[in-house]
Amino acid sequence: MLIKEIELITLDTGTLAPHLTEDDLKNGMPGAMEALGSLIKGEGAGSDMLGWMVLPRLPPRDIEEILDVGKRIQDQSDCLVVVGIGGSYLGARAGIEALKKHAPFPVLFAGNSLSPEYHADLLDYLEGKRFSICAISKSGTTTEPAIAFRLLRNRLIETCGREDCNARIVAITDPVKGALRQMAGTEGWKIFPISPDVGGRFSVLSPVGLLPFAAAGIPIDALVGGACSGLDRWTRKEPGNEALRYALSRALLHDKGIEIEVLSTFHPELSWVCEWWKQLAGESEGKEGKGLYPASTVMTTDLHSLGQLLQEGSRKILETFLISARPNRDIDIPGDGEDLDGLNYIAGKSLSEVNRKAYEGTKAAHVSGGLPAMTLKLEGIDPSSIGALFIFFELAIAVSGRLIGVNPFDQPGVEEYKTRMFKLLGKPGY
């Protein structure tokens, strides 16, 4: 299903000036196009990790298979527990939180921390419930999800026996290696392979995100359709390409000394999209002493906590607003005869209109306070827009990573803590 994505996402860079002008963008555009061209040709640093660029063009039979397994999970369970961390967690969480109204089937998450409280509470909650597990780990050996999976699987075996337990587990992992892959083969669990050329933070449009979405009830054909349209548009080497303009703006401001990018949304349901984006941007660009530190705010909540800093604090911040043009639901503010709360001046207006004015006012205030700002506007918060947003950010961050001169597809730094933790825990070989 190809969606007219031209209306799905727009980018307004008009409020980047005077920090970044239209001429700066014009002058930098050939470099951005070259970076995009090298990705399309499969060249440059990390060229063996570009499998994510073809994910939206999933064959219909693969979508059917994912939908079938999602349906089976719904039929045989009261809820699904998705086990995973980092790139094997955040995309699924982001999509399900953003599209809650399209996701009636309960999906819970585990293995994204080592919190004993969280996991004990989860096991309590699952008491007496029929649940299925979707274990996601590309390596199949990551400590946090491995522990959660062991706890949950033990519970399933205790409550329904090994055979029934095996029918309730889906493993999404490397096609050949890793502990999860070996266990899945031995026990006969349903397996969806993660292609070795797709990194965790670029995997949301593979079964890593699509199976949890399908189980939740999200129409994945519409989501993939949005991503496909986005891929079609944002791989065009033309100056109006919004993903290129966003990538270039970030990279040029990085080179001018901006250190932090704050993604500010006025829609709380997008807060997990911001979390997913933080990993995508931070892990892709944060190396060799480079990279914008990705932060996020949820407005208007954070205007009452971080608003002061954004208005008058460090000026090494770029603010990118993430807004939706259309609410899924709306509500009018009622009039009141006495007007004791003084709100009658907005009586009859919708809450979405007030929220939009809050965004416009905030942007104007922060820009007048000296922050460069731009706005990404979604047509709505629906499956096709969210699919388009995923591929938009993936393409843009891949380009900006290349522009600032790093390999956007590796993450050598994340091993450091593991080595020290394993030594402290006495893991054999450390």
Residues of the shown chain interacting with ligand PA5 in the complex, contacts defined by CB under 6 A: 85-88, 137-139, 142, 145, 199-201, 283, 411
Cβ proximity to ligand PA5: between 86 and 219 the closer is 86
Cβ proximity to ligand PA5: between 281 and 303 the closer is 281
Q: Which of 4, 41, 256, 418 is catalytic?
A: 418
From the CB of 138, what's the least distance to ligand PA5, in Å? 4
From the CB of 166, what's the least distance to ligand PA5, in Å? 21
Contacts (Cβ under 8 Å, ≥6 apart) of 41: none
From the CB of 95, what's the least distance to ligand PA5, in Å? 16
Q: Which of 144, 242, 261, 283 is catalytic?
A: 283
Q: Which of 127, 158, 304, 415 is catalytic?
A: 304
Cβ proximity to ligand PA5: between 69 and 171 the closer is 171
The alpha-carbon radius of gyration of the chain (Å, integer) is: 22
Q: Rounded distance, CA 204 to CA 52, Å?
A: 9
What is residue 9's three-state secondary structure?
A: strand
Tokens read off for 379: 């047509």
Burial 114-133 (b: 16+ CB within 10 A, else e): eeeeebeebeeebeeeebbb
From the CB of 175, what's the least distance to ligand PA5, in Å? 13
Burial 370-404 (b: 16+ CB within 10 A, else e): ebbbbbbbbbebbbbbbbbbbbbbbbbbbbbbbbb
Active site residue 304: yes
Residue whose C-alpha is closest to residue 320's, from 301, 290, 299, 304: 299
Residue whose C-alpha is closest to residue 111's, from 75, 82, 140, 69: 82
Q: CA dihedral in degrees (72, 75, 81, 83; nearest 10)?
A: 0
Cβ proximity to ligand PA5: between 147 and 346 the closer is 147
Cβ proximity to ligand PA5: between 20 and 184 the closer is 184
From the CB of 208, what's the least distance to ligand PA5, in Å? 8
From the CB of 86, what's the least distance to ligand PA5, in Å? 2
Cβ proximity to ligand PA5: between 88 and 249 the closer is 88
Locate the DSSP E strands across 124-265: 131-137, 169-173, 190-193, 260-265
Residue whose C-alpha is closest to residue 47's, from 57, 56, 55, 37: 37
Cβ neighbour number for residue 298 with a 10 Å cutoff = 18
What is the DSSP annotation of 19-36? TS-HHHHHHHHHHHHHHH
Active site residue 65: no
Q: Rounded distance, CA 95 to CA 117, Å?
A: 25
List active site positions: 283, 304, 418
